[in-house]
Chain A
Amino acid sequence: MEKLDNKILKEIIGDKNVLEEDVYNIRKNGKCVARKDNPNISIVSKENNKGLDIYVKENTLFGIIHIPVIITESGLKDVVENDFHIGKNSNIVILSGCGVHNPLNKESEHDGIHRFYLEEGAKVKYIEKHYAEGKGTGKKILNPTTEIYLEENASLTMDTIQIKGVDYSERKTYAKLKDKSTLTITEKIMTCDDEKAITDFKIDLEGNNASCHVTSRSVATDNSYQEFHSNVVGYNKCYAHVECDAIIKDEGKIRAIPEIYAKNVDANLVHEAAIGKIAKDQLAKLMSLGLTEKEAENAIIEGFLK
């Protein structure tokens, strides 16, 4: 591992050393560079190195899986498909993320397709972080796709964060929920300069008493643009709450297009969307505690995306 790799890993995984973890697979510039699994969690490469199949045995508790991706080659387009097969009643944490360092002038692109198949009663917390850097004019593009299939009583919590540096991203999330399964998604996106970020949720609540809660918090500054689409369909007695909350600054633009479709009289679907600049009172309060206007703005945005 090079110094640069460690720096990028730190941005997406945090301070810990992945190589000291129990289960991990590190992919760099389209190839696996380090892997470790254990008797309960196995990591198997797909044909042609196009991704991984990760199998978690039934009743595996407290497993933590790290699957970071690093791209340092300018001009590389990396497409990866990772499928997670989570056995009954397991309880797993998955940390994923993609860090792009593109110092040159060609486009770098990573399209990660993650599919989650949760058997009955399985629980997954999935944390995904996207980060890009590099002073060249080469665009940094990330297009993550997530598919989630929840069997009865399964639950998945997904936290995604994309903070600055990604020139273009198109994020697609699809989920299908069976009886009494629950899905909680929290998405945080901040764009600046001329960046564009598009996010698209499609959730089918097929099961009886299935529920989902989607929270999207976004900040668009400078001349950046964001789009939020969501489409939740209730086929049964079910509950959905979708919340899109956004702050715009400078010439930033945000468009939210919500759709909820109840196909059953017992479906209870709620959508809330709010876009606006930072409230004057919030600025005034923090300034009255001695912060400058700029410091107050940063504190409000940092809190909002925390």
Chain B
Amino acid sequence: MLELIDICFTRNNKKILDHVNLTFSDNKFYVITGPNGSGKSTLAKIIMGIEKPDSGRILFNGQDITSLDITNRAKLGIGYTFQQPVNFKGIKVLDLLKFAVGLNISKEDALNLLKSVGITSPEYLDREINNSLSGGELKRIEIASVLARKPLLGIFDEPEAGIDLWSFQSLAEIFKEIENNSQAITIVISHQERILKIANQIIILANGKVKKIGPAKEMLEEILND
């Protein structure tokens, strides 16, 4: 279980997160949605430890992780996909998957991970993680690197952003699969109806506050009519 208690985050005199309280239960698939600038990505980064809240506490399975750094949160089983996948120089897809599993990974196992995100060609393992890959490919590799860790809590920040329609359709399939099989907490930040439909719970953020939270079935109609 993940608990966010009274999280506040202000930058340049703007309250980006304003006393946010949320609880995420195991085995559930959450989608956080809301207008641009509502604080969704900041919230995701605060859970991973990339940003530190000005005040408030974060509990993961009962442990206070507020002061833990990114590495130690990752070691507890928290995973995060960047909205804009990070480019590297000289680091290849296989290297990234090796880092993700923390030990040597066979090419076959690495390829199986890529297959789970719809990449089937073995030549991708030797590709550098940079702009020679398309936005959709980078996104899938980013997701594969997090799935490889089998996280207890997976946070996916706008997986659909910047990718083409075809890629998006297969991404939606990936998340459907996660929802069906994962025992973990999954949090996806998204605006897409197809992703929202997969959710167990939907959280709407607006102006840094939780505007509404509820089961997807009840929330969907309201969001789509908005």
Contact = CB atoms under 8 A, between A and B. Distances in A.
Given A293-B71, A303-B95, A288 B88 contact: no
Contacts of B102: 289-290
Interface in A259-306: 279, 281-282, 284-293, 299-300, 302-306
A288 B89 contact: no
Given A289-B100, A290-B74, A284 B88 contact: no
Interface residues of B, number: 24
Contacts of A291: 71, 99
Nearest to B45: A284
From B82, B89, B92, B149, residue with most partner A Cβ within 10 Å:
B89
Contacts of A170: none
A304 B95 CA distance: 13
Given A281-B82, A284-B50, A284-B70, A290 B88 contact: no
Contacts, number: 60
A206 B29 CA distance: 64
B206 interface: no
A194 interface: no
B22 interface: no
Contacts of B71: 287, 290-293
From A217, A281, A293, residue with most partner B Cβ within 10 Å:
A281
Interface in B91-126: 91-92, 95-96, 99-100, 102
From A217, A281, A288, A302, residue with most partner B Cβ within 10 Å:
A288
A303 B82 CA distance: 20
Interface in A230-269: 245
Contacts of B34: none
B80 A303 contact: no
Given A281-B82, A285-B82, A290 B90 contact: no
Contacts of B50: 284, 288
A284 B48 CA distance: 9
Contacts of A303: 88-92, 95
When A and B form their complex, which 4 residue pairs have the shortest distance between CB atoms, in order from nearest? A303-B90, A303-B91, A287-B70, A285-B86
Interface of A: 217, 245, 279, 281-282, 284-293, 299-300, 302-306
18 contacts: A279-B86, A281-B86, A284-B50, A285-B86, A286-B99, A287-B70, A287-B74, A288-B50, A288-B70, A288-B74, A288-B80, A289-B102, A290-B100, A291-B99, A293-B69, A300-B91, A303-B88, A304-B89
